[in-house]
Amino acid sequence: MHSALALVEKLMSDLIVPKNYKPVLNVKETEKAIVLLKDFFQLCLSTELSLTRVTAPLFVRSGTGINDDLNGVERPVQFPVRDMGDARMEIVHSLAKWKRLKVSELGLGEGFGIYTDMNAIRADESLDNLHSLYVDQWDWELRIDEDDRTVMHLKETVEKIYRCLKRTEFFVYDRYEQIRPLLPEHITFVYADDLYRQYPDMSAKQRETEFCRKHKAVFVIGIGGKLPDGSVHDGRAPDYDDWITESGDGHTGLNGDLLVWNPVLETAMELSSMGIRVSQESLKAQLAERGCPERAQLAFHKKLLDGSLVQTMGGGIGQSRLCMYFLRKAHIGETQASIWPEGMISECKKNGIPLL
Residues annotated as catalytic (active site), given as ranges: 68, 122, 137, 257, 270, 273
- Bridge partners, 61 (sequence order): 89
Q: What is the DSSP letter of 200?
A: T
**Distance between terminal CA atoms of the chain?**
30
Alpha carbon separation from 203 to 130, 192, 199, 200, 207 (Å, rounded): 18, 12, 8, 8, 6
Tell me the one-letter amino acid at 106: L
- Other C-beta atoms lying within 10 Å of the C-beta of residue 309: 20
Cα 247 to Cα 149: distance, rounded to the nearest angstrom: 9
Cα 151 to Cα 21: distance, rounded to the nearest angstrom: 40
- 3-state class (DSSP) for residue 170: helix
Q: 318 near 14, Cβ under 8 Å?
A: no
Alpha carbon separation from 301 to 18, 88, 110, 296 (Å, rounded): 45, 20, 22, 5
Q: 321 near 271, Cβ under 8 Å?
A: yes
Cα 340 to Cα 14: distance, rounded to the nearest angstrom: 13
How many degrees, rounded to 5, is the angle at CA 183 between CA 181 and CA 185?
Answer: 115
Tell me the one-letter amino acid at 41: F
Tell me the one-letter amino acid at 228: P
